[in-house]
Amino acid sequence: MSSNTKDLLIELGTEELPPKILNKLMIDFKLGISQNLTEAKINFDTIKAYATPRRLAVVVQDVDINQKDQIIQRRGPAIQAAFDKNGNTTKALRSFAKSCHITINSLEEVRTKKGAWIVFSQKKRGACTINLISGILHQTLRDLPIPRNMRWGNIIGGFARPIHWIISLFGDEVIPIKLLGVKSGRKSYGHRSHHPKSIYIQSAKTYAQQLEVEGYVVADMEARRHLIRKQILKLATNLGGEAIINEDLLDEITGMVEWPIALSGSYDERFLKLPDAVLISSKERHQKCFAVRDKLGNLLPHFITICNLESRDPAQVIEGNERVMLARLSDASFFWHADREKPLADRQEQLKTIVFQNRLGTLHDKSARVAKLSVEIARKIGGNTALAERTALLAKCDLVTDIVGEFPNLQGIMGKYHAHLDGEHDEIAEALHEQYLPLFAGDKLPQTKSGQAVSLAEKFDTLVGLFGIGQPPTGVKDPFALRRASLGILRIIIENGLNVDLANMLEQAHQGFNNILGKFDVTSQVMCYFYERLRIYSTNQGVTADIFEAVLAVKPTKPIDFMKRLEAVHAFLKLSQAKDLVVSNKRINNILHRNNNAREKMAINDSLLKEKAEKDLANKLDDISFIVQPLIANSNYKGALIVLSDMHETVDNFFNKVMIMVDDEAIRTNRFTLLHQTRNLLLSVADISYLQK
């Protein structure tokens, strides 16, 4: 660190912050400070963020003590307005110089492609960084994307939780800041139990070390997460097994503790008769504990919990956790055995009491629609229609079980357990779980045909229904997760290689609602939405915008077909013939665009073909069509593009030697018809004119 730089420390001490958003809050806080320093023209080296349940902090190394000097330019009149035709100064120029408090000789000329102007340039000396930090911190907090701020006292503004202390050190100096009623200083606070007293922070460099050594606080969130994982793995090994680490739970616990200590407990082995999913969910969701299994994957009667202190009597802490765990598992056992008194199929009537959406009916209504659509999809993808229909009718039955009422995350999973025990077909049991897949981006997909059919049908039904009643997703609201549903449909179809036509399925889903949705064209509206989701999907696969637009122009409705066309155009672009085909497409498109009143569906009248060049084009059109059609039928799109590129010279010759806009209307119309049919053939794979070649 040079004499012209100092380290900056900012810490906000708060009441306990929400653990599930703590990591994002830390990242956004760091990003905000970084961006605002950069916008203020203050150079720095690195920035490190810290977060615990009771604090957000950043340490910025080698921050310039002064803002960079800036050249401020004020633009005056244009050159032609500054001087008359004799070269004398005008009133506009003299007035501009006077407003700048300088002589005309001190002004400068600036010439750009857009013109020339008189300007006044002035060097503005950079302000002291220490005087700008307060504004940067205030701006950062205003910009933080916190879902709901808290307010306290009679202060103006708010934050995620009330702020109790602020540290703002620039080198050894305290930066005076008053934020939300709190004045800055250099005192922080350690662990509530181990070190409730204040800690005098010496500098930014000693911040993290002082908190850990003096205050029993591991401020580095990633280090704390690593420490928790390490302790869990070690304890699991000592128990003779391995830990089941739910990464989301690990993140949440990392946001709940400042001084993590892992302890293990046990429970009665009789609970191991419960389904594994019930045991794991009970531990994770209710007790924030980690389950342990043996090397064969069987659960062991142990759990691992993370405490936020180093107890003098760990046995008492473990006993308390075991007592609560006993109560939780006893409840789960009761729910499970009560649920087993009735098979899934007998719960269908209960679905009539659960409203899916006020205008779209109950879950019972939805199940009936999905069952009908699942049969159609199963037939198209080579599945067993009877199994798909049975799966759809049972799909939502586990939602009325007590276990799913207690653990909503087990929907589908509990259906699978019940189906096996009820003696249902193995594929039905598996499909009941698969109906919700994929749950998130990159998640696994349904593998059974019944699972694929029901998952697709359920998502189609939801999309058509919500769009049909005028409730599509907006920029901020998507309560029925329609974005996830549409991307899920695309992934299931594309990545499983299913020959499913979106438009056809949407139309059948629409028919399933009878007259509930009205008469407007829901299918085209949802198809447009699918194309935008497909744009996102293909972009993530590395497809460029121009290739996507080229294929989108011909509107393929089968995702598999769409992707094959994208691949073919991408491969074709690498060939030398690509440029020729692009040029031909653009020439035809341009003239047809300028004469869009020409009739497109007329037949070519051979007797009106007068010029050799137009006869050659008509013959070429017939020859190429004969070759291309079977290639298109077999999805050999790259081969079709190569054949189509052979039309380039014939098209060029037509444009060079044939006058289209002749006086004879019949001949003129016939030539436009020839061009229309040529363009239609060139569009059989994609609109190549979109390509940047």
- Same domain (yes/no): 303, 371: no
CA 256 to chain centroid: 26
Compute CA distances 84 → 1, 96, 97, 428, whole Å: 56, 15, 16, 89
Tokens matching residue 29: 């806080």
At 597-632, the pLDDT tens digits run: 555 567 887 778 888 888 888 888 888 889 989 999
What average pLDDT score do residues 659-678 get? Answer: 83
Residue 558 lies in a domain: no
CATH of the domain at 655: 1.10.730.10
- Same domain (yes/no): 643, 597: yes
Structure confidence at residue 560 (pLDDT): 95
Structure confidence at residue 342 (pLDDT): 94
What angle do the packed helices 449-468 and 522-540 form, to 10 degrees? 120
pLDDT band at 519 (very low <50, low <70, confident <90, very high): low
pLDDT band at 66 (very low <50, low <70, confident <90, very high): confident
Give the Cα separation of 428 and 388 in Å (integer).
7
Could you say which DSSP state residue 3 is in? T
Cβ(55)–Cβ(14) below 8 Å: yes
pLDDT band at 339 (very low <50, low <70, confident <90, very high): very high
Query: What three-state secondary structure class fits 68?
Result: coil
Last residue of a domain, one of 304, 339, 374: 339
* Angular region, 229: left φ>0, alpha ψ -120 to 50, beta rest: alpha
What average pLDDT score do residues 557-576 get? Answer: 91
Last residue of a domain, one of 200, 215, 230: 215
Residue whose tokens read 């980690």? 290
Query: What three-state secondary structure class fits 306?
Result: strand
At 203-219, the pLDDT tens digits run: 999 999 999 999 999 99
What average pLDDT score do residues 547-562 get? Answer: 94
Give the Cα separation of 244 and 250 in Å (integer).
11
pLDDT band at 674 (very low <50, low <70, confident <90, very high): confident
Is the pLDDT confidence value at 531 over 90?
Answer: yes
Residue 550 lies in a domain: no
At 377-392, the pLDDT tens digits run: 999 999 999 999 999 9
Cβ(533)–Cβ(486) below 8 Å: yes
Structure confidence at residue 601 (pLDDT): 62
Query: What three-state secondary structure class fits 157?
Result: coil
Is the pLDDT confidence value at 241 over 70?
Answer: yes
pLDDT band at 117 (very low <50, low <70, confident <90, very high): confident
The number of folded domains in the chain is 5
Q: 167 phi and psi, to 5 degrees?
A: -110, 130
Residue 316 lies in a domain: yes
Structure confidence at residue 302 (pLDDT): 97
Which residues constitute the domain of residue 324? 221-339
Give the Cα separation of 392 and 200 in Å (integer).
64
* Angular region, 181: left φ>0, alpha ψ -120 to 50, beta rest: left
- Same domain (yes/no): 509, 532: yes
Is the pLDDT confidence value at 18 over 90?
Answer: yes
- Same domain (yes/no): 182, 166: yes
At 156-182, the pLDDT tens digits run: 888 999 999 999 999 989 999 999 989
pLDDT band at 127 (very low <50, low <70, confident <90, very high): confident
Structure confidence at residue 596 (pLDDT): 63
CATH of the domain at 27: 3.30.70
Query: What three-state secondary structure class fits 19?
Result: helix
Compute CA distances 407 → 229, 250, 328, 336, whole Å: 25, 19, 12, 11
* Mean pLDDT of all residues belonging to the chain: 90
Query: What three-state secondary structure class fits 382?
Result: coil
pLDDT band at 2 (very low <50, low <70, confident <90, very high): low
What average pLDDT score do residues 629-655 get? Answer: 86
What percentage of the chain reaches a pLDDT higher than 70?
Answer: 97
Q: 420 phi and psi, to 5 degrees?
A: -60, -45
Centre a 10 Å sphere on the Cβ of residue 169 and count the other Cβ atoms it contains: 23
Tokens matching residue 153: 């006292």
Structure confidence at residue 693 (pLDDT): 59
Is the pLDDT confidence value at 1 over 70?
Answer: no
Tokens matching residue 486: 């549409």
Give the Cα separation of 386 and 370 in Å (integer).
13
Structure confidence at residue 399 (pLDDT): 96
- Same domain (yes/no): 105, 166: no
pLDDT band at 255 (very low <50, low <70, confident <90, very high): very high
The angle subtended at Cα 505 by Cα 502 and Cα 511, nearest 5°, is 140
What residues form DSSP beta bridges with 11?
57, 167
Is the pLDDT confidence value at 644 over 60?
Answer: yes
At 450-508, the pLDDT tens digits run: 999 999 999 999 999 999 998 888 877 888 989 999 999 999 999 999 999 999 999 99
Structure confidence at residue 319 (pLDDT): 96
Name 613's Cβ contacts closer than 8 Å, sequence gap at least 6: 650, 653, 654, 656, 657, 658
In angstroms and rounded to an integer, the radius of gyration of the C-alpha atoms of the chain is 35
Residue 488 lies in a domain: yes
- Same domain (yes/no): 433, 529: yes
- Same domain (yes/no): 36, 50: yes
Residue 562 lies in a domain: no
Residue 557 lies in a domain: no
pLDDT band at 653 (very low <50, low <70, confident <90, very high): confident
What average pLDDT score do residues 500-524 get? Answer: 87
Name 590's Cβ contacts closer than 8 Å, sequence gap at least 6: none
Is the pLDDT confidence value at 348 over 80?
Answer: yes
Alpha helices, DSSP H, located in 7-73: 22-39
Is the pLDDT confidence value at 512 over 70?
Answer: yes
pLDDT band at 80 (very low <50, low <70, confident <90, very high): confident
Compute CA distances 612 → 255, 644, 646, 674, whole Å: 79, 21, 18, 14
Is the pLDDT confidence value at 294 over 60?
Answer: yes
Query: What three-state secondary structure class fits 152?
Result: coil
Residue 556 lies in a domain: no
Tokens matching residue 121: 């340039």
Query: What three-state secondary structure class fits 400?
Result: helix
Residue 548 lies in a domain: no
Structure confidence at residue 318 (pLDDT): 96
CA 287 to chain centroid: 30
- Same domain (yes/no): 100, 158: no
DSSP string computed for 158-206: -BSS-EEEEEEEETTEEP--EETTEEEESEEE--TTT--SEEE---TTT
Is the pLDDT confidence value at 151 over 70?
Answer: yes
Last residue of a domain, one of 160, 181, 215: 215
Give the Cα separation of 124 and 485 in Å (integer).
55
At 296-318, the pLDDT tens digits run: 999 999 999 999 999 999 999 99
Amino acid found at 319: E
- Same domain (yes/no): 119, 133: no
- Same domain (yes/no): 323, 398: no
Is the pLDDT confidence value at 186 over 70?
Answer: yes
Q: What is the greatest pairwise CA distance in the chain?
A: 105
What average pLDDT score do residues 235-260 get? Answer: 96
- Same domain (yes/no): 388, 445: yes
At 381-434, the pLDDT tens digits run: 999 999 999 999 999 999 999 999 999 999 999 999 999 999 999 999 999 999
Structure confidence at residue 270 (pLDDT): 95
- Same domain (yes/no): 32, 157: yes
Cβ(6)–Cβ(171) below 8 Å: yes
